[in-house]
Amino acid sequence: MDINFNKLFKQELERGFYDNIYLKLCNGEKENNSITIPKTCKSRLNGISEYNRIWNYRFLESPCRIGRKSVYCLKKINGCQIKNSSYKCPICYSLDPNIDNPCEPLNKLMRIDISKNFAIIPNVYPYLETQFLVVSRSHIDQGQLLNNQELLKEFFQEIKNLLSRNNGVFVFNGTCGNSLDHFHSHYTTTKFPLLEMLSEKLNGYFDFEHFRGFSLIASNELMVSELISTILKNNLTYNFVVRRVGENLQFIFFIRHCKILEGVEDLNLDAGGLSGYIVTTDKLNIDENILSKYLDTTNRKEDYILISSQFKSGGRRRSKTQKIKNKLFRKTIRNRK
């Protein structure tokens, strides 16, 4: 299927999908009358602005990204229950064509089925450029789908096909820095600082200019499955960003230890955040010390060393990062100040 995300985004803009944030409240019902929408929020695309930089990490405020907490009717629908919440799964709700949806804008949600198990929908509260979701058509948890070989193969092929026709990346937030259980991966054309610097030829662990991750050039889903299995058997979790490199896909894995230690502020960063693009609903008052403690706690160097020693597929081509790292990265971020 020939999907052009830029055209889809323009189409959604023209039909007003991203406008009128006030209309999404469900028939006037309010929860504790606590919802506050900034007066400047006439659209979900309003108000996004950069307010801070630490190293190569950009901090952006998105005050109009209210999220599911304002769609109160999600408490009343029949559908999948969100873990540890009174809300039902909004993705399941959005995908059901038989529901007469009383809420705006979900009753206008575009859906494109791209394969047996996956569909494309727009992100209702976009905070990245040209942002869409590839979601599982049935409710499968974030941590389960990529452990299923058949589904992983289908997902790998679908994102490879989509990236062959679109100049963007996919972001998978897993269970660390993510708020929804239903499997979903974000497509965006956002230029993440890490990807502007990272070599498209790198295989293995990297630690460079406060970015830390594991790059895997994958020709098939089996290589991805092996790395995921290696991570999980060590009781760790992961996020990743993926882009197309020639005929292959480059997966940038972030190996996560999400337990926050006492004295460390929980920034709840997802894969986009660890790639240098941190979007918050309010301005955070943090400095280099706070960010450094969080990264060293949840994206630990020792975990990468452990996984690198156990991962077989990347062993023969794994780089000695500390010795040749300057050759593996582009010289600078474009327009870096």
For the sheet with 112-113, list strands across it.
112-113, 118-122, 132-136, 184-188, 169-172, 237-245, 248-256, 211-218, 204-208
**What is the predicted pLDDT for the residue at 168?**
97
Say whether pLDDT at 279 is over 80: yes
Query: Are the C-beta atoms of residues 111 and 120 closer than 8 Å to each other?
Result: yes
Of the segments 44-53, 176-185, 193-202, 279-288, which one has the largest average pLDDT value?
193-202
- Per-domain residue ranges of the chain: 18-326
* Lookup: tokens for 296: 């060293």
CATH of 18-326, one of 3.40.220, 3.10.20, 3.30.428, 1.10.287: 3.30.428
Give 150-185 pLDDT, tens digit per residue: 999 999 999 999 999 999 999 999 888 787 888 999
* Lookup: tokens for 318: 């794994």
**What is the predicted pLDDT for the residue at 46?**
80
Question: What would the mean pLDDT of 67-90 be, rounded to a whole number?
Answer: 56
Q: Is the dihedral of CA 12, 14, 20, 26 positive or negative?
A: negative
Question: What would the mean pLDDT of 133-153 be, rounded to a whole number?
Answer: 89
* Lookup: tokens for 24: 């999404």
**What is the predicted pLDDT for the residue at 227?**
96
**What is the predicted pLDDT for the residue at 247?**
95
* pLDDT class of 260 with cuts at 50, 70, 90: confident
- The four Cα atoms 278, 284, 288, 290 give a dihedral, to 10 degrees, of -100
| Pairwise CA distance, residues 194 & 55, whole Å | 11
**What is the predicted pLDDT for the residue at 65?**
72
| Pairwise CA distance, residues 9 & 21, whole Å | 17
* Lookup: tokens for 39: 């007066």
* pLDDT class of 106 with cuts at 50, 70, 90: low
